[in-house]
Amino acid sequence: MNVMNKTNELKTSVDAPLELNRLADNAQQAAQAFIAAGTAANTVRSYRSALAYWSAWLQLRYGRTLDDSPLPDTVILQFIVDHLARPLDSGDWSHLLPAAIDAALVAAKVKSKLGALAFSTVAHRLAVLSKWHQVHQWPSPTESIAVKTLLREARKAQSRQGLQVRKKTAVVLEPLQALLATCSDGVRGVRDRALLLLAWSGGGRRRSEVVSLSVNDVRPLDSDTWIYTLGATKTDTSGQRREKPLRGPAAHALAAWLEVAPAASGPLFRRLYKGGRVSRDGVSADQVARIVQRRAKLAGLEGDWAAHSLRSGFVTEAGRQGVPLGEVMAMTEHRSISTVMGYFQAGSLLDSRASQLLTTADPAAEGSTGEGEQQ
């Protein structure tokens, strides 16, 4: 009886009960805030860019906006053939996006240049649109059989015609040494050397992981070894902090940077003013990419260099030197074996005996068919 009375008292002291199948408005806002706070800044930017493109393309192609209704799969099919180049009988490549719309998208600054998009870009735009539908609790048009079939066949067609997915050039040991050799320009060189070596030797860190490190995330064990601590990353969002080692040159470079730019707190790698004066602000993810590109240019290196070059280069070089895959993944924190294996196998095959069957044979055999043989 007392329980019933207390229950009735509670009913009169709170707002009206919620509907079981509907979130309260403030709960919906709180959920969205959690999602936004838990999404990496780079991911948020890429989502915004993709949705801006979808909005502009839909307006120009169909006269509609990305509004409060789901898109049919016919629109997705049109998007794919508008943006993916296909081979013609003449040997040329073509896509269906009208030239006037293409120019308008570039003029609106939602597209960087005229022409077809890379397969990876189209796939990313479709993934973002699928996420948009999921958030609105709509069925995703990208899941239709027609869309999946067209996308699969388009990829096969491009591959058969030699149009491969372009990957950034990997910074293996020799290019890394060339990059480091350019780091002789005062404070900037000291910073860039430490950043490059931490990102590479520390397990091929992503640029978002490099810029998120603070001064309090690193500590020395001895003169040749430092430890740095990772928090939430793209593949580990648990927030559990993991320690990674920096040995030898990487440890020395980090110590040198903190000697010229001492700080009790704040970002580990900071911007520089003219004259080598150190800012309190940290470098951005884009600046990490520009540092790699600038050093590659100074070193006279040919290739398509980016921040990811450090990550792919670490894995490739580890495969080249025969480091067990499990140890490599413990450093990189890759969760997908298939993702890391492409780089790892490429490196391991560089020094594989199977790739050197002729060079490891009798040197006299090269260029010679042997004495007495008929030509």
The residue extents of the domains of the chain are 39-160, 173-355
pLDDT for position 195: 97
Given this model, what pLDDT does residue 44 score? 72
- The whole-number pLDDT of residue 228 equals 94
> Could you name the CATH architecture of 173-355?
Orthogonal Bundle (1.10)
Return the SS3 of 267: strand
Q: Which residue has the tokens 């900037």?
A: 188
Instruction: Determine phi and psi for 286, rounding to 5 degrees.
Output: -65, -35
Mean pLDDT for all residues in the chain: 81
For the chain, the three-class secondary structure string (H helix, E strand, C coil) is CHHHHHHHHHHHHCCCCCCCCCCCHHHHHHHHHHHHHCCCHHHHHHHHHHHHHHHHHHHHHHCCCCCCCCCCHHHHHHHHHHHCCEECCCCCEECCCCHHHHHHHHHCCCCCCCCCCCHHHHHHHHHHHHHHHHHCCCCCHHHCHHHHHHHHHHHHHHHHCCCCCCCCCCCCHHHHHHHHHCCCCHHHHHHHHHHHHHHHHCCCCCHHHHHHCEHHHEEEEECCEEEEEECCCCCCCCCCCEEEEEECHHHHHHHHHHHHCCCCCCECCEEECHHHCEEEEECCHHHHHHHHHHHHHHHCCCCCCCCHHHHHHHHHHHHHCCCCHHHHHHHHCCCCHHHHHHHHHHHHHHCCHHHHCCCCCCHHHCCCCCCCCCC
Q: 0.75 cut: is pTM over it?
A: no
3-class SS of residue 169: coil
Read off the amino acid at residue 373.
E
- Determine the pLDDT at residue 19: 53
Name the stretches of the chain with pLDDT < 70.
1-43, 87-93, 160-167, 232-239, 350-352, 354-375
Q: How many angstroms separate the CA atoms of 320 and 173, rounded?
A: 10
- CATH topology for 39-160 is DNA polymerase; domain 1 (1.10.150)
